[in-house]
Amino acid sequence: MQLKNIFVEGAIAPSFIADSITKHATKTNIGAHNIFLGQVRADSINNKQVIGIEYTSNQPMALECMQAIREQIFEKYNLTCMHVYHSLGKVAVGELCLFVFTSSKHRATAINACTECVEKIKAELPIWGKEIFEDASYQWKENK
Amino acid sequence: MDIEILFFGQLTDISGCHSVKIENPGSTEAVNEWLCKQYPGLVGAKFVMALNNQLIVVPQKITEPSIIACMPPFSGG
């Protein structure tokens, strides 16, 4: 089975998100969309400013895990569709690194499915973020 | 028969590389022992291992050319 790719090199462009929304105009059985966007935050750690995050992944495993998450979500929620994109490589502060988009007939389904999907992505996908500081030093990100 | 060991995230700072090929030591436990001898920094480091993309929950024999991934806590999103 062909696994669906979720990875985007670099930041996720806002125009890509707009295009993705536009494409759903023909799916007239949808009554609700929910979108989660992850943005790289300018954290200050020990007086050093984060300027970006560099993402790496165990890609084949991540895509297999994402397929399993997708199946679990579709089994639990009556979704019309779900789209997931995650950045790889460098993403600057203020840019987008995660885009999760769920659609359904009614809002509760789309909202709850989106939230659960984001939590699973953070907990289960083998992806790592390296926080890069302005002096080119770094530390490995920890999810809270 | 060789197996390939992959390192991810902060583990690459310890191993100094992204992957290494070794003669198959026969089991996932033996791989773990080899790793701790070769890279003492891994002793006590927090990570999980996957054999051919499946998380290793109980020790397993390795009988075919395989990929072992060593993965620290995930931090995507």
Contacts of A80 (CB under 8 A, 6+ apart): A27, A29, A30, A103, A104, A105
Encode pLDDT of A16-72 as tens digits.
Answer: 999 999 999 999 999 999 999 999 999 999 999 999 999 999 999 999 999 999 999
Q: Which ipTM did the prediction report?
A: 0.94
Interface size A-B, in CB pairs within 8 Å, comes to 65
Topology of the domain covering A7-19+30-140? Aldehyde Oxidoreductase; domain 3 (3.90.1170)
Q: For residue A1, is pLDDT > 90?
A: no
- Gap from B52 CA to chain A (nearest CA, Å): 8
What residues of chain B lie within 8 A of the CB of A124, using their CB? 74
* Domains assigned to chain B: 2-71 (3.10.20.30)
Break chain A into its structural domains and give their ranges: 7-19+30-140
- Gap from A127 CA to chain B (nearest CA, Å): 5
> Are residues A58 and B69, on separate chains, in Cβ contact within 8 Å?
yes
| pLDDT value at residue B30 | 97
Region of residue B15 (phi > 0: left; psi between -120 and 50: alpha; otherwise: beta): alpha
- Gap from B56 CA to chain A (nearest CA, Å): 13
Angstrom CA distances, A56 to A44, A128, A130, B32, B58, stand at 22, 5, 8, 23, 27
Average pLDDT, chain A: 97
> Are residues B77 and A140, on separate chains, in Cβ contact within 8 Å?
no
Contacts of B32 (CB under 8 A, 6+ apart): B49
Joined together, the tokens standing for residue B34 give 């080899």
Instruction: Encode burial over A10-20: b for 16+ CB neighbours within 10 A, e otherwise.
Output: ebbeeeebeeb
Asked whether the whole model's pTM tops 0.90, one would answer yes
pLDDT band at residue A2, thresholds of 50, 70 and 90?
confident
Collect the ranges in chain B with pLDDT lower than 50: none
* Dist CA B73 CA A129 (whole Å): 11
pLDDT band at residue A144, thresholds of 50, 70 and 90?
confident
| pLDDT value at residue B1 | 85
